Structure 1
Amino acid sequence: MVTAAAATVGGSMEFGMTRSVSAVEEGIMGVARSLSLEVGGKSKFFRNVRTMRFLLALIMSAIVAMVAVSRLKLLVDPWFSSHHETQQPPLQQLLMSSSSSSNPLSNPPLLTHTGVATGHNSAKNHLSSTELKLVPSPVVAANRPQFHSSIVDSTCTSRGQQEMYRDSAHQSPRSGLLDQALEEYTRMHSHCALYDGDGSSDVKTECRYLVYLEGYEGLGNRLLSLVSAFAYAMATKRALVIDARRGHLAALLCEPFRDSSWLLPPGFVDEVWGAPNLEDAMHRGFQNVSAVRINLRHEQTRADQRFFCPATQQEGLQNVTWIGWESNQYYVPRLFMIPSFWSLLSPWFPDPSLVFTQLTRFLCLPQNQIWARIQRVHESYLASSMMQVGLQVRRNLNADNATLAESVQELIMNCSLKYHLLPRPAMHNKEPVVVVQQQQLKPPPDTGAKSSSSSRTSAAVLVTSLHMQYYEKLRNLYLEHGTEDGTVVSVHMMSHDGVENDSYEQAVKALMEIWLLSFSNKLATSSWSTFGYVAQGLGGLHPVIFNFLALDLDDHTGPACWLGQSSEPCLHYPFVKQLECGNVPMSKQQSNWIATHIRPCQDEKYGLQLCSGLH
């Protein structure tokens, strides 16, 4: 109807404009005929003047009419087009397989919804960031916190829009000191930019650089390592650059720093890849060493671990121009254990449980094409529900971690009910509860009376896993039985690739899923999952943690699940006891801070995790 109405109005405008032009033409022809008959005589001259005045008035009237019609068309057309574009598109148009195009960003990935996998769409791509117009449903508009960002960045729209999708409890604003530090770092990065405006590259003698060398693990490990490198770069005043030849992060994420690029120019590659490791540099006493390649992966030598000794930082690496950073871990907790770094970092983060949250929301923002897909999925399938729940299922110690196991399904359901992530299914029901369209739902009145069908609450559940069996089980459970309290539950899954690979297409899906999970009101993640760590940290969420490790290890003594003590990721391999730094002088204030804010991880007893200190 909207399209038809727009066509009708457009047709009326075109007819009106044609009629105005025709009137002008007829007037001109009439005046020309009258002028051709006027010859000689004073009275005829004045008649000619009157005729010319009539002609001029007629032309001016026509011009005014055409301008008015044009302005009306400019005002009306966008109204119709925006209402037309914001209608929920068919699922096969909304999310198309990204493997169907040579350009991975031209089409979004598959989304499974109520068990139907979508096909391809050859029509116009609806996900252009310039076309995207978000009109939240009345339910969403009523419940979403009002957020007015001063950040307007057309090159990275997610920078100013990300907080629109989080409730007020999880917006986690940065401290004033951290904002000031980020602003100063951005200016330093611009001053030390390796790319000049004319396309050439140069190194200023007063600048030092940290080159992020992307690893081969999954996206979760890479993002954890990248944020750790950024925290170290801020503490040491090094310009963070990334070698885009390996991996996908540079193609997934926006340029984070205003007025400068974080891409490593090709001419500087040998500076890092050919550099000595930390042990060799220490043997040389860091004499004539301009670059060092640091190994902070989970397999490290004792010499590699000396990176965290204060003497290595202050007497060795401080004057090295280039540091190559290789890691697959989240080493920020270890940085707080170095006295000189602690004195810088602790004032920036009054709540240490939000370090990853605040740095990631600054550094790891999706590029516009990916952000537009995230918005489309969220607005079409999740936003209209009053409660959004994320369930991330990953069995790290299982050879085929996506194969359905009834014990895993039982654990998911029991823990979700225990921590009130999901409403209790009405198992006694023989017929499924009638599903009310979620766009018509309103919050139930707080009267204590039983909700009617017109005021049911709703929950949208996003399941992320390599395979779809866990999603299917949960979806069928609520379709067949409904819920005891009448809550309408919709279950969604965005991808189910079966196996993890190193493709760009899968990396795009993974980044989308991480961001969508981070928008949840409630979240459950899997023990030892770096993917889950990034989602909970980005969202500032304390998740319920599914202890799948206990199942895989046949450990019947451990809990099936627990509530996370922090939104921070876990550092699995801190190597604290093996360090040989000697006697490190540490203030009593720092010692008390560490005792309060750094704890063993709940899913790795030898790991370390930053916490708020509140029990």
Structure 2
Amino acid sequence: MDADKMEEAAAAHPPEMSEKRRGLIAGPGAATVLVLVALPLMLLSYLCGNLAADSVVHLRRFKWSSSSTTPESADRLLGGLLSPDFDEATCLSRYEASRRWKQPSPFPVSPYLVERLRRYEANHRRCGPGTAQYQDAVAQHRSGRRHSAAADDRGECRYVVWLPIQGLGNRMLSLVSTFLYALLTGRVVLVDETPEMEGLFCEPFPGTSWLLPSDFPYKRGFSAESNESYVNMLKNGVVRHDGDGDAAGELPPYVYFHLEQIHLRLQNHTFCDEDHRVLDRFDWMILRSDSYFAVALFLVPAYRAELDMMFPAKGSVFHLLGRYLFHPGNRVWGIVERFYDGYLAAADERLGIQVRIVPQMAVPFEVMYEQIVRCTREHGLLPRVTNTSEPAGVRPSSSSAKVKAVLVVSLKREYYDKLHGVFYTNATAASGGGGGGGEEVVAVYQPSHDGDQHTEARAHNERALAEIYLLSFCDRVVTTAWSTFGYVAHALAGLRPWMLAPLDWDKMRADVACVRPASVEPCLHSPPPLVCRARQDDLDPVARVPFLRHCEDVPAGLKLFD
């Protein structure tokens, strides 16, 4: 269907409740209710033929959702990623999410990664909050005493403290990157759980906590200009590279590592071997980032062998570590389950459409909607519609009708309104020509529409996290260029999305509606320059690293792929 016809059809917008009635919620008595509903509907179907076809479709959907949606082969431990040593009631999502993701994962888990995760968990239990080792390390940190720069004078336990910045998508990308850095360097990750993040995620490590205790002495006031930042320490001679001597043979009690996107292109260091040898001497690192800097860790030669063993498939890094680290808390998981089971579970296919409009470069609604229509039409993601509410040809039977659920995730309501109006008002055109056997029933849903981003509000972040997971449970997804929210959702799913291409502002139109990225990996928007002492050139790393490409939506960005 053409975009203008879809726009005209959207004028008639029915109440939301009419859509909600399409997805019945299965409860504890679902089996009993099914019998009571099925008998009269079967009789009606027998007596009235096609008059009961709609009801039979609903019955099929209700029966589907009232039974377990778990494939018998669902892997609760995700190929060994997850430890079985948890009380399931404390975090329902940990072992439940695997029931809703497409099975199996496209990326097998390497035995070496499983081994490294178990080793990390043991180290975190030994050094985490509440242990004697942690108390000793904090006491030294709090004292402000400098310590020897000698490589063999490292503490028994070493830490990286993660500080949040920007929105939820950015936070999840940077936290996975920080955890990967901890795996490579033998550090323990401690997360500053600010009020707006409280309870969003379950504890990922058994028998311990990753939450930074509230009495930790240094959590606020850091920026790229801080004297404690590694770049400024280097600039001021507080620390020096190997071979240049050490500043007074001592190091400050901690180093601040600032990896914000807008500053990465300005830093000549931070991802060279010599820099990481210096950073490795600090027992305490405080890190703030809004970037998926995991990509840049692959540029450090000292880490490559370890990374190759953990990730034989380079395009699997966020997919595997994100599934390992992130488990929505029970409150968020309740939102996910209620919406998924009530509206999405019974569909034959689920299509997620994620729309992110950046206020600083706001694409007009009509322009973005037209691009979504082009993308879904050109790639067969949504069926065309007729200009009538009458179905084409013979009405489909319950066994042939295909139900497609469309999940719209956006801060704005307009995209849902228009798509919902189109598929409510008009019948879908039969595919393959002749007859109505190929007609699809399309139901459009939107969980929330907050209008604006409110990262400072916990309820807003709860809805955002729930919708990231709902998107990840879809069979196919359309996402927005530059969107870290979209990156996280499709990477968790292990799906290459149809990514809406950036707008050509001169034409007010994207030449290509959407593209398929080379991998499911997120993009590092602003990679740092690599002018290292051992390698003075600043060549494009894509030219010399076989598993790197520039991003489809950010030409200067970098992403991992296979």
TM-score by length of 2: 0.75
Give the Cα–Cα distance (whole angstroms) in 1 for the partners of residues 33 and 260 of structure 2. 48
What is the aligned partner in structure 2 of residue 266 from structure 1?
214
Identity across the alignment (%): 32
CA contact (8 A) 2:353 2:477 kept: yes
CA contact (8 A) 1:386 1:458 kept: yes
What is the aligned partner in structure 2 of residue 83 from structure 1?
29
CA contact (8 A) 2:315 2:520 kept: yes
Deviation at residue 551 of structure 1 after TM alignment: 4.7
What is the aligned partner in structure 2 of residue 137 from structure 1?
64
Deviation at residue 596 of structure 1 after TM alignment: 2.2
CA contact (8 A) 2:251 2:282 kept: no
Deviation at residue 362 of structure 1 after TM alignment: 0.7
Deviation at residue 171 of structure 1 after TM alignment: 5.9
What is the aligned partner in structure 1 of residue 283 from structure 2?
321
Describe the SS at the equivalent of 1:295: strand
Letter in 1 for 2:331: Q
What is the aligned partner in structure 1 of residue 344 from structure 2?
382
CA contact (8 A) 2:351 2:477 kept: yes
Deviation at residue 467 of structure 1 after TM alignment: 1.1
Letter in 2 for 1:356: F
1:385-427 deviations in whole A, cap 9, x for unaligned? 01011000112365556x6x222212111111212221222x2
Give the Cα–Cα distance (whole angstroms) in 1 for the partners of residues 32 and 197 of structure 2. 31
What is the aligned partner in structure 1 of residue 149 from structure 2?
none
Describe the SS at the equivalent of 1:270: coil
CA contact (8 A) 1:523 1:543 kept: yes
Give the Cα–Cα distance (whole angstroms) in 2 for the partners of residues 81 and 166 of structure 1. 22
Letter in 2 for 1:409: Y
CA contact (8 A) 2:412 2:450 kept: yes
Greater helix content: 1
What is the aligned partner in structure 2 of residue 312 from structure 1?
275
Deviation at residue 302 of structure 1 after TM alignment: 7.3
Give the Cα–Cα distance (whole angstroms) in 1 for the partners of residues 418 and 314 of structure 2. 38
Select between 257-266 and 165-174 the one with higher mean Cα deviation.
Answer: 165-174
Give the Cα–Cα distance (whole angstroms) in 1 for the partners of residues 210 and 238 of structure 2. 30
CA contact (8 A) 1:214 1:247 kept: no
Select between 137-146 and 235-244 the one with higher mean Cα deviation.
Answer: 137-146
CA contact (8 A) 1:396 1:528 kept: no
Give the Cα–Cα distance (whole angstroms) in 2 for the partners of residues 488 and 431 of structure 1. 12
Describe the SS at the equivalent of 1:569: coil
Q: Cα–Cα, structure 1 residues 145 and 610, in superposed 2: closer, same or farther, change >3 Å?
A: farther
**Are residue 596 (structure 1) and residue 526 (structure 2) matched?**
no
CA contact (8 A) 1:173 1:358 kept: no
What is the aligned partner in structure 2 of residue 222 from structure 1?
171
CA contact (8 A) 1:144 1:167 kept: no
What is the aligned partner in structure 1 of residue 477 from structure 2?
523
CA contact (8 A) 1:195 1:202 kept: no
TM-score by length of 1: 0.69
**Are residue 468 (structure 1) and residue 409 (structure 2) matched?**
no
**Are residue 544 (structure 1) and residue 502 (structure 2) matched?**
no
1:557-587 deviations in whole A, cap 9, x for unaligned? 74221112111111100023xx43122499x
**Are residue 167 (structure 1) and residue 102 (structure 2) matched?**
yes
Q: Cα–Cα, structure 1 residues 296 and 148, in superposed 2: closer, same or farther, change >3 Å?
A: closer
Deviation at residue 538 of structure 1 after TM alignment: 0.9
CA contact (8 A) 2:351 2:405 kept: yes
Q: Cα–Cα, structure 1 residues 483 and 195, in superposed 2: closer, same or farther, change >3 Å?
A: same
What is the aligned partner in structure 1 of residue 144 from structure 2?
none
Q: Cα–Cα, structure 1 residues 372 and 472, in superposed 2: closer, same or farther, change >3 Å?
A: same
Select between 165-174 and 526-535 the one with higher mean Cα deviation.
Answer: 165-174
Letter in 1 for 2:256: R
What is the aligned partner in structure 1 of residue 128 from structure 2?
193
What is the aligned partner in structure 2 of residue 24 from structure 1?
none
CA contact (8 A) 1:398 1:552 kept: no
**Are residue 422 (structure 1) and residue 382 (structure 2) matched?**
yes
What is the aligned partner in structure 1 of residue 400 from structure 2?
455
CA contact (8 A) 2:319 2:491 kept: yes
Describe the SS at the equivalent of 2:375: helix
Letter in 2 for 1:611: F
Deviation at residue 453 of structure 1 after TM alignment: 4.6
Select between 149-158 and 526-535 the one with higher mean Cα deviation.
Answer: 149-158
Give the Cα–Cα distance (whole angstroms) in 1 for the partners of residues 220 and 389 of structure 2. 65
Describe the SS at the equivalent of 2:218: helix
What is the aligned partner in structure 1 of residue 372 from structure 2?
412
Letter in 1 for 2:315: S
Higher RCO (CA-CA < 8 Å; seq separation 6+): 2
1:503-531 deviations in whole A, cap 9, x for unaligned? 11110010000000001100010001111
Give the Cα–Cα distance (whole angstroms) in 1 for the partners of residues 69 and 171 of structure 2. 37
Aligned mate of 2:163, from 196, 204, 213: 213
Letter in 1 for 2:281: N
Letter in 1 for 2:285: I
CA contact (8 A) 1:397 1:552 kept: no
What is the aligned partner in structure 1 of residue 308 from structure 2?
346
**Are residue 178 (structure 1) and residue 123 (structure 2) matched?**
no
CA contact (8 A) 1:201 1:265 kept: no
CA contact (8 A) 2:351 2:475 kept: yes
Deviation at residue 539 of structure 1 after TM alignment: 0.7
Letter in 1 for 2:424: L
Length, aligned pairs only: 458
Deviation at residue 139 of structure 1 after TM alignment: 8.7
Deviation at residue 193 of structure 1 after TM alignment: 1.1
Q: CA RMSD in A?
A: 3.2
What is the aligned partner in structure 1 of residue 5 from structure 2?
none
Describe the SS at the equivalent of 1:337: coil
CA contact (8 A) 1:527 1:603 kept: yes
Deviation at residue 179 of structure 1 after TM alignment: 0.8
Equivalent residue runs for 1:433-452 within 5 Å? 433=391, 452=397
Describe the SS at the equivalent of 2:448: coil
Q: Cα–Cα, structure 1 residues 421 and 362, in superposed 2: closer, same or farther, change >3 Å?
A: same
Give the Cα–Cα distance (whole angstroms) in 2 for the partners of residues 534 and 81 of structure 1. 31
CA contact (8 A) 1:334 1:574 kept: yes
1:97-146 deviations in whole A, cap 9, x for unaligned? xxxxxxxxxxxxxxxxxxxxxxxxxxxxxxxxxxxxxx983697589463
Q: Cα–Cα, structure 1 residues 396 and 553, in superposed 2: closer, same or farther, change >3 Å?
A: farther
Give the Cα–Cα distance (whole angstroms) in 1 for the partners of residues 408 and 232 of structure 2. 47
What is the aligned partner in structure 2 of residue 235 from structure 1?
184
What is the aligned partner in structure 2 of residue 572 from structure 1?
525
Aligned mate of 1:491, from 432, 439, 444: 444
Letter in 1 for 2:181: Y
Unaligned segments of structure 2, at least 5 residues: 1-25, 35-61, 78-83, 139-154, 241-249, 431-438
Letter in 2 for 1:423: P
What is the aligned partner in structure 1 of residue 561 from structure 2?
611
What is the aligned partner in structure 2 of residue 511 from structure 1?
465
